[in-house]
Amino acid sequence: MTDPAILRIAIPSPLRRLFDYLYPAELGPLPEAGCRVLVPFGRRQLVGIVIGQASSSEVPTDKLKPIAALLDCEPLLSQNLLELGSWAASYYQHPIGDALSSLLPVLLRRGEPLPSNAEPAWQLTTRGKGLPESALSRAPRQQQVLQQLQLRTASRSHFQQLGISSTILRQLEQKGLIEQIELAPEASVDHSNLLAEPSLPLYPEQQQALEQIQLSGFHSYLLDGTTGSGKTEVYLQLIEQVVRKGRQALVMIPEISLTPQTLQRFTSRFNCPVAVIHSGLTDRERALAWDQARTGRAAIVLGTRSAIFTPLKNPGLLIVDEEHDSSFKQQEGFRYSARDLAVWRAQSEQIPLILGSATPSLESLYNCQQQRYTRLVLSSRAGASQQPAWQTVDVRQHRLSSGFSRELFDAMQTQLDDGNQVLVFLNRRGFAPTLSCHQCGWIANCHRCEARLTVHRQINRLICHHCEFQQTVPTRCSQCHSVQLQCVGQGTERSEETLAALFPDFPVIRVDRDTTRRKQAMQEIVAKIHSGEPCILVGTQMLAKGHHFPNVTLVAILDADAGLFSADFRAAEKMGQLITQVAGRAGRGKKPGMVILQSQHCEHPLISTLIHQSYSEFCEMLLTERRLAQLPPFRYMALLRAEARNMTDAENFLAYARQLAEQQVSPNPDISYLGPLPAPMEKRSGRFRQQFSITCRERPRLQQLMSWLCPQLEASSLGKKVRWSVDIDPQDM
Ligand code: ADP
Ligand code: ZN
Ligand code: ZN
């Protein structure tokens, strides 16, 4: 009798290792790597992923447990993806089983079978067919569904994309007008009829960019194109070429920009299935989209961060749009950067990678300087529209009334009177960031965080934006009982109120997390803006990204100074990106645009370079600073964070971490240690926070050190008293 085979299995657990199991012969032929199995683990059964066969195990064979069941007859994850996941786990110092498990959609992590490919769809019942056109005119959404179904049967996801909720569909079902059916998966792409609309004739710069991009083999390109320069058109034409070759394109976009508008640009260009992968999907929808990509039925896959792990049958192109966006970095647990993994993935799949942005990250610009990436520049806006003109208002010399200078007010009035729209940017939601007592100077602070409570007036609450603590707005000072409490500073809610009073003839539309919480809210707002009527938009960075509002001619930036004096070394870079992106909303139509920036530091070299020269020169300045300070991208960084109910526990743990690290590699010109130091927000949710950073000239050396250090820290008793984490290439300090 031959010995049973030993399989190495990845299991979702905090342990940083793989586990060996026996594979009983009665389960059939040995599964390939990438199949799921059910295994006993402690007292539970867990879903694991087969990594490969082991010739022997450290555990004696008679102690090894057998696999309980084989869940897949073909691998769900390709060898490439398993390698990507394993590399990411080791690079980001995350337990491998947990990392690999997170490559699967939740449904599959739970051990459920792949959902059926047949898509649920809706058709008219006989009764529905008999209805006159004018029926249901009082329920326009329902009528829209019926009109759609008169033309042809449509899938549930089609209605989702149109923004029609399942409630509406169910109402129609209850009325006996429509019924559910299962639609067979769509056939493969029809190449003769791939384009649903003609592609645009390219402008010279677009054409040049397109010609420089090699569609065979691996290479990274940075498509550095100002806002509105037509990057998306370049993507679309590249995708067309790739799909014609029978290959797939994976397009990564930031969390916030996955709007129906973005999706529509892809679906209206191509007559081929587009799978969409993001966090708003149900588990089933997500697994379905994932499987469409895996089996090659979806020629185009559009997704947010986690979509970087989507299996692709015939990968041909990887695009990361708005590559500078911080949502590509996961901020908890498995702290990977989808943008950085895209480089790894494109290389292992031997396909081109396009990183696109109007405000590229310093990392990517530096990679271009190092000739690791090829930089392709689109310097002018597509079509008639021009880059906006800038104007600064020094708020130390001009009186502000509720945050608005006279200059700004007049400029707004002129634009509105001319029938244009104005966008006011203020990256702070709520009514006011501070509530204070006029008598004694008391300030309403969060008792759990080192932070002030934000006044939200419409709901009459004080809210901590860091730990979600809430209370009713007090009527008296908690220290001297005076009733003279005042709101200090501006939030979007207050600006909305001010603007409504200053410009009574024009609607004011506020866009922030509070006004867009409801599901369809953002879409309704966008529709209102697209109607083109003169109005004032006031909002946070939600307004900055990706939107194309052709009637906005004036963008006002109320407070540009937040990023200038921050402890976070990336703050200035982020400020520059945000200002440039917001400014890019101005003058995207036929009329010229203008940007007015209010600042206390108009002559600050960073601000003046950004607005009088260019984002690119601004970045040159920052790169020089980073080089001198020996910070990323010139160095690679790992940040250890620790938090505890008392400060010394957190500090002691990190001091121990530093001691260990220094024993292993003593400080030298190539590696430096900083900390433990209090985190920029020292206390949060009732815990004290400390951090310790390691910067190193070479990536592999840092990785080596961290791979040695992390298991030691995990084993240490000091570590049990604190919550700690390690963040490689941290985005936020
Ligand atoms: P970006 O992605 O760089 O912000 P977009 O691709 O959204 O820019 O393009 C901005 C606008 O210019 C869009 O309305 C787009 O349809 C239009 N546009 C882009 N390229 C062309 C072209 N070659 N010819 C005509 N219009 C174009
Ligand atoms: Zn008081
Ligand atoms: Zn708090």
The alpha carbon of residue 159 and the mean position of all alpha carbons in its chain are separated, in whole angstroms, by: 25
Query: How many CA atoms lie within 13 Å of 21's alpha carbon, on the beta-carbon side?
Result: 29
- For residue 591, the CA-to-ligand 1 centroid distance in Å is 16
Q: How far is CA 122 from CA 157, 158, 182, 289, 666, in A?
A: 10, 10, 8, 19, 67
pLDDT at 399: 81
Would you say the CB of residue 233 lies under 6 angstroms from ligand 1?
Answer: yes
Q: Which residues, other chains included, contact 731 with Cβ-Cβ below 8 Å and sequence gap of 6+?
A: 326, 329, 331, 337, 570
State how far the Cα of 212 lies from the Cα of 220, in Å rounded to an integer.
Answer: 11
- Report the distance separating Cα 255 and Cα 305, nearest Å: 7
Q: What is the spatial distance between Cα 222 and Cα 210, in angstroms, rounded to a whole number? A: 12
Cβ partners under 8 Å of residue 497, min gap 6: 431
Q: Ligand 2 mean position to 385 CA, how many Å?
A: 54
In the block, tokens 């990183």 appear at 355
Does the Cβ of 232 fall within 6 Å of ligand 1?
Answer: yes
The verdict on whether omega for the bond into residue 60 sits within 30 degrees of 0, i.e. cis, is: no
Q: What is the mean pLDDT of the chain?
A: 91
Distance CA 27, CA 100 (A): 23
Q: pLDDT digits over 525-577, tens only?
A: 888 888 989 999 999 988 887 678 889 999 999 887 877 888 889 999 999 99
Say what the pLDDT of residue 35 is: 96
Confidence at residue 641, expressed as pLDDT on a 0 to 100 scale: 97
- Smallest Cα–Cα separation from 541: which of 421, 423, 422, 427? 427
Radius of gyration of the chain (CA): 28
Q: Is 227 in the pocket of ligand 1 (CB under 6 A)?
A: yes
Q: Distance, CA 453 to ligand 3 centroid (Å)?
A: 7
Report the predicted TM-score, pTM, of the whole model to 2 decimal places: 0.88
**For the segment 18-33, what is each residue's pLDDT rounded down to a tens digit?**
999 999 988 889 999 9
Preceding amide of 633 cis, omega within 30: yes
632 Rama class: left (phi>0) / alpha (psi -120 to 50) / beta: beta
Query: C-alpha angle with apex 307: 572 to 468, nearest 5 degrees?
Result: 55
DSSP secondary structure string for all residues of 412-433 = HHHHHHTT-EEEEE-S--SSBS
State how far the alpha carbon of 622 is from the alpha carbons of 569, 635, 729, in Å: 10, 14, 18
Q: What is the pLDDT of residue 561?
A: 80
Tokens in use for 173?
């079902």
* pLDDT digits 0-9 by tens, 496-509: 999 999 999 999 99
d(CA 77, CA 679): 39
Dihedral sign for Cα atoms in the order 452, 455, 456, 461: positive
41-74 pLDDT, tens digit each: 999 999 999 999 998 888 888 889 999 999 998 9
Interval 597-655: pLDDT, tens: 999 888 899 999 998 899 999 999 999 999 999 999 999 999 999 999 999 999 999 99
Q: What is the mean pLDDT of residues 371-376?
A: 97
**Cα–Cα distance between 174 and 165 in angstroms, integer?**
15
Annotated binding-site residue? 602? no
Separation CA 621–CA 604 (nearest Å)? 12
Residue (of 49, 59, 74, 78) closest to 20 by Cα position:
59
CA of 445 to the centre of ligand 3 (A): 8
186 has pLDDT over 80: no
Residue nearest to atom 15 of ligand 1 (CA): 230
Confidence bin at 202 (pLDDT 50/70/90)? very high
Task: For residue 101, give the nearest of 24, 9, 230 by alpha carbon.
Answer: 9
Global ipTM: 0.97
* 329 three-class SS: strand
Confidence of residue 309 (pLDDT cuts 50, 70, 90): very high
Q: Is 696 annotated as a binding residue?
A: no
Q: Report the distance separating Cα 75 and Cα 33, nearest Å.
A: 6
> What pLDDT was estimated at residue 69?
94
230 CB under 6 A from ligand 1?
A: yes
Amino acid at 213: I
DSSP 137: T
CA dihedral for 56, 59, 63, 66, sign (positive or negative): negative
CA angle 153, 159, 163 (to 5 degrees): 160
Q: Given this model, what pLDDT does residue 522 score?
A: 84
**Vertex 83, ends 285 and 283: CA angle to 5°?**
10
101 backbone φψ class: left, alpha, beta (φ>0; ψ -120 to 50): alpha
The residue contributing the CA closest to ligand 1 atom 11 is 228
pLDDT class for 103, splitting at 50, 70, 90?
very high
Closest CA to 218 of 109, 344, 115: 344
* Cα within 13 Å of Cα(509), Cβ side: 24
Q: Find the mean pLDDT for residues 723-733.
A: 93
Atom of ligand 1 lying closest to residue 227 CA: 4
Q: What is the pLDDT of residues 114-130, one digit of tens each?
A: 887 666 788 888 888 88
End-to-end CA distance of the chain: 59
Ligand 1 atom nearest to CA at 232: 6
Ligand whose nearest atom lies closest to the CA of 209:
1
* Segment 434-463 mean pLDDT: 95
Rounded to the nearest whole angstrom, what is the distance from the C-alpha of residue 404 to the centroid of ligand 3?
A: 29
Please report the atom of ligand 1 found closest to the CA of residue 382. Answer: 12
Q: Is 47 helix (H, G, I), strand (E, B) or coil?
A: strand
- Best residue for ligand 1 mutational test, from 199, 203, 207, 233 (most atoms within 8 Å of Cβ): 233
- pLDDT (tens digit, 9 = 90+) per residue, 276-303? 998 888 999 999 999 999 999 999 999 9
- Residue 142 phi, psi dihedral angles, 5° rounding: -65, -40
73 in a known ligand binding site: no
Q: Which atom of ligand 1 is nearest to the CA of 546?
A: 4
Q: Give the C-alpha separation, 406 to 416, whole Å.
A: 15
Would you say 487 is a known binding-site residue? no
Q: What's the pLDDT at 187? A: 55
**Do 22 and 65 meet the contact criterion of CB atoms below 8 Å apart?**
yes
Among 232, 386, 588, which residue has the most ligand 1 atoms within 8 Å of its CB, making it the best to mutate?
A: 232
Structure tokens at 693: 């950073």
Contact 557, 582 (CB under 8 A): yes
The tens digit of pLDDT for each residue in 395-421 reads 888 888 888 999 999 999 999 999 999
Instruction: State residue 90's pLDDT score.
Output: 95
Strands 400-401 and 274-277: unpaired
Q: Tell me how far the alpha carbon of residue 488 lies from the centroid of ligand 2, in angstroms.
A: 14
User: 569 and 362 in contact (C-beta within 8 Å)?
Assistant: no
- Return the ligand 1 atom nearest residue 584 CA: 4
DSSP string, 663-702: HHS--BTTEEEEEEEEEEEEEETTEEEEEEEEEES-HHHH
pLDDT value of residue 146: 86
Residue 248 clears pLDDT 80, i.e. is over it? yes
* SS3 assignment for 346-413: HHHHCCEEEEEECCCCHHHHHHHHCCCEEEEEECCCCCCCCCCEEEEEECCCCCEECCEEHHHHHHHH
Q: Are 463 and 454 in contact (CB under 8 A)?
A: yes
Which residue's alpha carbon is at the smallest distance from atom 12 of ligand 1?
A: 382
Gap from CA of 476 to ligand 2 centroid (Å): 8
